[in-house]
């Protein structure tokens, strides 16, 4: 508590006086120290005026705000019995003779309360030079602190961290801001700052001070409480890359000619002192950032806005400004030009960074700071041109290490006490899928798996889908692109180094077909999840990036022991030696697809097998592009080797025929199409003749139809065919027919049979010959549950005269029942053919269908085909030709003419 206030207007001296351990004597004329000694304290008015600074590039200063510092106090220890006169001269003389105590506190600059002390522990003295203010007649009293020993300087130690940490007023930018004050409060506790001049007066203090520490530098010059120049430099790093950088704030008093005042102008500069930084030494960080070096191509940044420092509690309960995001003068985050060097070339980007000042932190505080920085920096999305990147950077490359990336999300981690950038997400595509499926490249977000960050190259997968549902790989309906025999269909949510897109669950690759494959995945029409029991090696889809050219895409599922097939299935017959080999290579020059299934069999239909086919090897090959097949390569299409047939069930009676007929040795007829391949084996049987009994055109057929669209395979058995029926004749009577059936794994799909019988009479004279026939028949068709039964009658004949004129006519009457429309329809057709020398004409009159019963239309609807016989209908062209032909002959005489 101040007990007395002394003033001397002649030299502007103004002091408050406080004492303890001293007794007032002589009627208040003096103070005498008690036997234990006393303390004399001199209080000074505010020694500093904190002025609002403006940017050096700003215009007119205008009115600026200011803040006064608090009082300062010099404390002196008075030995026991010493006498101090209670006059201005006595107090000043005592202050010059006594040593300055460590309890002295000077607030210079604003909110920086320092304890002055002599270097080396020597006593600190207060001298009182008296001088004259320039151009003024009145002198100014001041006290200058100095060390008692020559060559020993004055040191400054901040003693009030709380005051230093008080926030600056809103929009008030002092020369020494809170970050600098807090830094000095911490740093001077380790190594004091040095002062070349420290004077106190009633008009303010004068200070020339500096400090050098590994973390920061400080230079300050003030005259009579007004700052002349201030510089504070902080060392740190740029998060998240970790480049070493320097943040520097400089303040200079400059004369404003427009307003005739000298104002403080500030400038900020950020200097990158480590432009190039290599890969992190922390494996977990290094594996999430696939670049060799990161270079900041510009190293000096000026015209920055005042930083918005963020505070951090190191664990002592005191939050200290530690980091900020540099802002450009336009109010936007400063974008640093960054070049990330990779084997395939540099990747250039512009990203905001965070400056983090150096601080001495323990392990726990470092970890907490990393968490705060991660939240503050967030995730910065960076767009780049589609670039092939090696995302693993392993010493030994794997097939799926390189992927096409068009953007990533940048984040940061702290490991081994050093910061490091990581790619939190990657927006990437798999060109292999686009080329294999003939689709546009689709980009999806991926991220590194924790297993890869921890285990490295041995992890089950390096990337996993970051958002959204699993991505489909669906060759259903396009089996010709995935091997013809096999149509893969599954969804992937991870990427393996060795296999490319895979499906993972609970940190491991899915190993069961039921969990991997979708319903549309099939092999020869059989669902893969039913016929495959175990997957030891998933399908591999990789791409090789080529500069300036499209990638070379490989899809393979040919590794020995990749899959284990189920045994004892009702339709698909697998053995221990059953093996699938699938290889697809696609590039911008062409595509090569090869799929081979070894040593298997098919029992068809599945529910009640009638036929078992065994195959030593079935190979599907499809090539596009100009590249010819290699030496010894199988031809395009379907190749079947070692085919055997065995009749089962109700066809067991034909077992002997099957044994005697070597179907597998007969030459197959291979019929490729855009939707599949058919392999037919035909066995013609010799005609059977016994007297007047003749049976000919007998043909036994067996075939397999393999669809490229994922439909199940069909086995086709036939005796003769519709286009070439068998013929049976007994004297003048004869007939024929055919039988065809088709079955797949679900059972009988189609059955078609027809029988025809009648009579035929032929006569021949020397100049003419002719024949007449009447035949009747029935045709039965059952197709996928729909029935069609037809009965028909054919009546006709032909006449040939000397080979010059030939006339034939046939009438066909047909009655058909259809179950699909539940109707009965009739049809009549007359066909007339005439040949005269080199001229011939065919006329066909078709009634169209007459719906007799059922269906939606009324019964006995008159077909439009008969419109030619109506007066106003259009004439049939064939009928017109016939009429023109008749007109060429003389009309027959009438009865009246003959009379």
Per-residue pLDDT of 276-324, as tens digits, reads 999 888 888 999 999 999 999 999 999 899 999 999 998 888 889 999 9
Mean pLDDT of 231-251: 95
Residue with the bigger pLDDT between 577 and 643: it is 577
- pLDDT above 80 (res 897): no
Per-residue pLDDT of 720-732, as tens digits, reads 887 778 777 766 6
pLDDT band (50, 70, 90) for residue 632: low
Per-residue pLDDT of 767-784, as tens digits, reads 788 888 888 888 888 887
Global pTM reads 0.73
Question: What per-residue confidence (pLDDT) applies to 877?
Answer: 59
Range with lowest mean pLDDT among 313-327, 586-600, 749-763, 811-825:
749-763
Structure tokens at 578: 């059953």
C-alpha atoms less than 13 angstroms from C-alpha of 704 in its C-beta half-sphere = 27
**Strand bridging mode 526-527 / 522-523:** antiparallel
Question: What per-residue confidence (pLDDT) applies to 318?
Answer: 83
* DSSP reduced 3-state for 109: coil
pLDDT band (50, 70, 90) for residue 491: very high
Full DSSP string of 799-841: EEETTTEEEEEEEEEEEEEETTTTEEEEEEEEEEEEEETTEEE
* DSSP reduced 3-state for 54: strand
Per-residue pLDDT of 840-856, as tens digits, reads 888 888 888 888 777 65
Burial label, 23 (beta-carbon count in 10 A; 0-12, 13-18, 19+): exposed
Question: What per-residue confidence (pLDDT) applies to 628?
Answer: 53
Question: What per-residue confidence (pLDDT) applies to 861?
Answer: 45
Instruction: Work out the mean pLDDT of the chain and round it to a whole number.
Output: 84
Question: What per-residue confidence (pLDDT) applies to 261?
Answer: 83
Mean pLDDT of 54-59: 81
Burial label, 112 (beta-carbon count in 10 A; 0-12, 13-18, 19+): buried
pLDDT band (50, 70, 90) for residue 859: very low
pLDDT band (50, 70, 90) for residue 664: very low
CA distance 49 to 43: 17
Full DSSP string of 381-422: EEEEEEEEEESS--SS--TTSEEEEEEEEEEEEEETTEEEEE
Cα-based torsion angle of the residue sequence 463, 464, 467, 472 in order, rounded to the nearest 10 degrees = 110
pLDDT band (50, 70, 90) for residue 199: very high
Residue with the bigger pLDDT between 626 and 861: it is 626
Mean pLDDT of 130-150: 73
Q: For the CA atoms of the chain, what is the radius of gyration? A: 52
**Strand bridging mode 49-51 / 463-465:** unpaired
C-alpha atoms less than 13 angstroms from C-alpha of 673 in its C-beta half-sphere = 11
Question: What per-residue confidence (pLDDT) applies to 641?
Answer: 84
- pLDDT above 80 (res 266): yes
- pLDDT above 70 (res 872): no
Question: What per-residue confidence (pLDDT) applies to 115?
Answer: 95
Per-residue pLDDT of 387-435, as tens digits, reads 999 999 888 888 889 999 999 999 988 766 678 899 999 999 988 888 8
Give the single-character DSSP code of 346.
Answer: E
CA distance 759 to 774: 6
- Nearest Cα neighbor of 37 from 92, 101, 124 is 101
Structure tokens at 422: 């990581």
Residue 483 contacts residue 595 (beta carbons within 8 Å): yes
Burial label, 31 (beta-carbon count in 10 A; 0-12, 13-18, 19+): buried
Mean pLDDT of 689-705: 71
Sheet holding 72-78, edge to edge: 4-8, 13-20, 38-44, 72-78
Question: What per-residue confidence (pLDDT) applies to 335?
Answer: 94
Range with lowest mean pLDDT among 198-207, 368-377, 639-648:
639-648
Residue 661 contacts residue 683 (beta carbons within 8 Å): yes
pLDDT band (50, 70, 90) for residue 862: very low
- Nearest Cα neighbor of 13 from 68, 82, 78, 93 is 93
- pLDDT above 70 (res 630): no
Residue with the bigger pLDDT between 767 and 510: it is 510
Residue 115 contacts residue 104 (beta carbons within 8 Å): yes
Per-residue pLDDT of 434-467, as tens digits, reads 888 877 788 999 999 999 999 988 888 999 999 8
851: alpha, beta or left? (left if phi > 0; alpha if psi -120 to 50): beta
Element (H, E) at 629: none
């Amino acid at each position: 508590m101040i007990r007395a206030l002394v003033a001397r207007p002649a030299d502007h001296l103004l002091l408050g006086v406080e004492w303890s351990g001293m007794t007032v004597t002589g009627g208040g004329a003096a103070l005498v120290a008690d036997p234990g000694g006393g303390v004399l304290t001199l209080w000074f008015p505010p020694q500093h005026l904190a002025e609002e600074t403006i940017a050096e590039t700003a215009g007119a200063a205008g009115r600026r705000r200011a803040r006064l510092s608090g009082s300062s106090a010099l404390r002196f220890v008075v030995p026991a019995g010493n006498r101090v006169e209670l006059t201005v001269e006595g107090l000043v003389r005592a202050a010059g003779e006594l040593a300055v105590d460590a309890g002295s506190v000077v607030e210079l600059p604003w909110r920086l309360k320092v304890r002055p002390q002599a270097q080396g522990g020597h006593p600190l003295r207060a001298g009182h030079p008296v001088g004259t203010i320039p151009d003024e007649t009145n002198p100014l009293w001041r006290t200058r602190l100095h060390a008692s020993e020559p060559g020993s300087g004055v040191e400054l130690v901040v003693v009030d961290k709380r005051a230093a940490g008080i926030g600056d007023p809103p929009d008030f930018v002092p020369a020494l801001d809170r970050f600098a004050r807090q830094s000095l409060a911490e740093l001077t506790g380790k190594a004091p700052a040095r002062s070349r001049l420290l004077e106190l007066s009633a008009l303010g203090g004068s200070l020339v001070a500096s400090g050098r520490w590994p973390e920061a530098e400080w230079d300050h010059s003030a005259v009579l409480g007004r700052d002349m120049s201030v510089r504070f430099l902080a060392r740190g790093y740029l998060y998240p890359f970790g480049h070493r950088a320097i943040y520097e704030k400089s303040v200079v008093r400059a004369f404003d000619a427009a307003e005739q005042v000298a104002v403080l102008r500030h400038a900020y500069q950020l200097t990158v002192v480590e432009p190039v930084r290599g890969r992190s030494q922390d494996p977990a960080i290094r594996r999430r950032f696939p670049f060799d070096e990161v270079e900041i191509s510009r190293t000096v940044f000026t015209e920055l806005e005042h930083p918005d420092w963020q505070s951090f509690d190191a664990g002592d309960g005191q939050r200290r400004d530690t980091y900020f995001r540099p802002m450009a003068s336009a109010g936007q985050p400063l974008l640093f030009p960054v070049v990330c060097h990779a084997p395939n070339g540099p990747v250039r980007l512009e990203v905001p960074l965070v400056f983090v000042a150096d601080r001495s932190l323990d392990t726990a505080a470092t970890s907490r700071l990393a968490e705060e920085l991660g939240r503050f920096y967030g995730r910065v999305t960076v767009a780049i041109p589609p670039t092939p990147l090696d995302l693993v950077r392993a010493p030994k490359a794997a097939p799926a290490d390189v992927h096409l990336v068009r953007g990533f999300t940048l984040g940061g981690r702290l490991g081994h006490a050093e910061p490091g950038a990581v790619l939190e997400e990657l927006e990437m595509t798999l060109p292999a899928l686009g080329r294999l499926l003939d689709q546009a490249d689709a980009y999806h977000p991926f991220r590194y798996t924790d297993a890869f960050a921890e285990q490295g190259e041995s992890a089950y997968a390096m990337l996993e889908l970051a958002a959204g549902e699993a991505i489909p790989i669906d060759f259903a309906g396009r089996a010709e692109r995935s091997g013809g025999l096999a149509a893969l269909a599954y969804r992937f949510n991870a990427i393996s180094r060795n296999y490319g897109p895979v499906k993972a669950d609970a940190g491991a690759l899915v190993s069961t077909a039921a969990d991997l494959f979708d319903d549309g995945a099939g092999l020869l029409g059989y669902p893969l999840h039913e016929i495959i029991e175990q997957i030891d090696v998933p399908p591999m889809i990789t791409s090789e990036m080529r500069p300036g050219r499209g990638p070379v895409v490989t899809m393979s599922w040919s590794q020995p022991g990749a899959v284990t097939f189920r045994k004892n299935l009702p339709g698909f017959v697998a053995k221990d030696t059953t093996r699938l080999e699938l290889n697809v290579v696609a590039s911008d020059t062409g595509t090569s697809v090869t799929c081979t299934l070894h040593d298997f069999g098919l029992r068809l239909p599945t529910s009640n097998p009638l036929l078992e086919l065994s195959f030593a090897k079935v190979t599907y090959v499809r090539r596009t592009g100009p590249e010819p097949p290699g030496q010894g390569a199988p031809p395009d299409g379907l190749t079947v080797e070692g085919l055997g047939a065995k009749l089962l069930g109700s066809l067991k009676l034909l077992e002997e025929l099957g044994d005697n007929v070597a179907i597998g040795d007969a030459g197959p007829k291979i019929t490729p199409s855009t939707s599949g391949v058919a392999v037919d084996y035909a066995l013609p049987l010799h005609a059977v003749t016994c007297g007047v009994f003749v049976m000919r055109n007998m043909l036994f057929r067996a075939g397999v139809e393999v669809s490229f669209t994922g439909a199940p395979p069909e086995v086709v058995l036939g005796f003769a065919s519709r286009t070439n029926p068998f013929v049976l004749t007994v004297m003048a009577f004869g007939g024929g027919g055919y039988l065809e059936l088709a079955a797949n794994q679900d059972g009988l799909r189609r059955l078609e049979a027809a029988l025809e019988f009648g009579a035929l009479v032929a006569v021949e004279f020397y100049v003419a010959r002719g024949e007449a026939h009447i035949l009747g028949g029935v045709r039965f068709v059952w197709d996928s549950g729909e029935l069609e039964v037809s009965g028909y009658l054919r009546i006709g004949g032909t006449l040939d005269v000397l080979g010059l004129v030939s006339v034939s006519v046939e009438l066909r009457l047909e009655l058909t029942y259809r179950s699909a429309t539940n109707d009965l329809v009739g049809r009549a057709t007359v066909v007339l053919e005439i040949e005269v020398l080199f001229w011939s004409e065919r006329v066909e009159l078709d009634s169209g269908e007459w719906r007799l019963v059922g269906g939606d239309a009324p019964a006995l609807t008159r077909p439009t085909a008969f419109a030619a016989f109506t007066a106003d209908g259009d004439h049939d062209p064939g009928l017109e030709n016939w009429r023109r032909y008749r007109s060429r002959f003389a009309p027959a005489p009438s009865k009246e003419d003959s009379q």
